[in-house]
Amino acid sequence: MARWKALPEELDPEIGEFTRQLRGLVDQGGLSVAALADRTGYSRTSWERYLNGRLLAPKGAVVALAEVTGTSPVHLTTMWELAERAWSRAESRHDRTMEQIRITQARAELGDFGGGTTTVDAPPVAPPSAEPPAGKRRVLLFLAGAAAVLAVLGTVFLLTGRGDGEGIPEAKSPSPSVTRVADLPPGVKCVGVGCTGKDAEAMGCSGDLVTTARTATVGAATLEVRYSRTCGAAWGRITGAAPGDRVRVTADGESRRGVAVAGETYTYTPMVAVGRAGEAEACVTLASGRTGCTK
């Protein structure tokens, strides 16, 4: 039986080639996934996702793999940069598609297919002497309320230019402060300011929902800004860390810190709320006194 599963057919060719390169290094090193996790500081679950094409490995994990297999990281990080660009393009296409689907579903639920004001015929008015039964009164009230809601929606669409026949503009991401936890994917427990100060893994914001927004190398450590669009939050992480190394993430006046202790090869900070990935900056202070930040 083959050791590796077939990569997803829809995977970008550059990402597929990069993933096969990682698999080759693991095979050459004779490493099991468990041993790989133990020696790099990244979890077994994470490596299974990286090596099966379900998630792009962060640069820190790539450098760690090169170290444990005795491989020069130069060529490998170049391939990672190409794969990371392809992954970002795929995420952007997916985000736009999902936004359009949500808009279409919302319109369908509201009965607004034409992009303009929808008119609902008023029900016949009963003679003053004949009060309609209770059941009919409820139906009439419902229809009247629906007509009022649709009229307001029609006005909004006209004012925002969505009824001019030029198509729907790309929808903007919802503000993290107004998204409800109930609207989030299963396992995600916070969003926006509700995530500030909390652990990304415990709140379900890591795994498939996270990307590396920024990165820098300081000494032997790799510094990253980790970003979850779903959670509307970012955090700082260092890999290749030594005991006493400190990482800090800052965004919109909020600052959170994490400190590496003995036995750790990586550590990360609690989260801060952000509207987009570029709002966060991570800095590291190594035990040696050397400092650096993401650009």
Higher-pLDDT residue of 261, 63: 63
List pLDDT tens digits, range 188-244: 899 989 999 998 888 888 877 888 888 899 988 888 999 999 999 999 988 887 888
- Token match 């003679």: residue? 127
pLDDT of 5 over the 50 cut? yes
Q: How confident is the model at residue 2 (pLDDT cuts 50, 70, 90)?
A: low
| C-alpha distance from residue 126 to each of 107, 135, 138, 145, 243 (Å) | 32, 14, 14, 18, 81
pLDDT of 269 over the 50 cut? yes
Higher-pLDDT residue of 110, 11: 11
Kindly provide the b/e burial profile for residues 133-169, where b requires at least 16 CB atoms within 10 angstroms of the residue's own CB: eeeeeeebeeeeeebeebeebbeebeeeebbeeeeee
d(CA 269, CA 279): 16
**8 Å CB contact between 187 and 202:** no
Identify the pLDDT of residue 75: 81
Average pLDDT, the chain: 76
Identify the pLDDT of residue 119: 46
Q: How confident is the model at residue 263 (pLDDT cuts 50, 70, 90)?
A: low
**8 Å CB contact between 62 and 76:** yes
List pLDDT tens digits, range 126-180: 444 444 455 555 555 566 565 655 555 555 444 444 444 444 444 444 444 445 5
Identify the pLDDT of residue 227: 93
State mean pLDDT over 50-57: 88
State mean pLDDT over 31-60: 89
Identify the pLDDT of residue 174: 44
Give the torsion sign (CA, 162, 88, 193, 101): positive
3-state SS track over the chain? CCCCCCCCCCCCHHHHHHHHHHHHHHHHCCCCHHHHHHHHCCCHHHHHHHHCCCCCCCHHHHHHHHHHHCCCHHHHHHHHHHHHHHHHHHHHHHHHHHHHHHHHHHHHHHCCCCCCCCCCCCCCCCCCCCCCCHHHHHHHHHHHHHHHHHHHHHHHHHHCCCCCCCCCCCCCCCCCCCCCHHHCCCCCCCCHHHHCCCCCCCCCCCHHHCEEEEEEEECCEEEEEEEECCCCEEEEEEECCCCCCEEEEEECCEEEEEECCCCCCEEECCCEECCCHHHCEEEEECCCCCEEECC
| CA–centroid distance for 284 within its chain | 24
d(CA 33, CA 83): 22
Identify the pLDDT of residue 100: 67
pTM (2 decimals)? 0.44
Identify the pLDDT of residue 210: 84
Identify the pLDDT of residue 253: 78
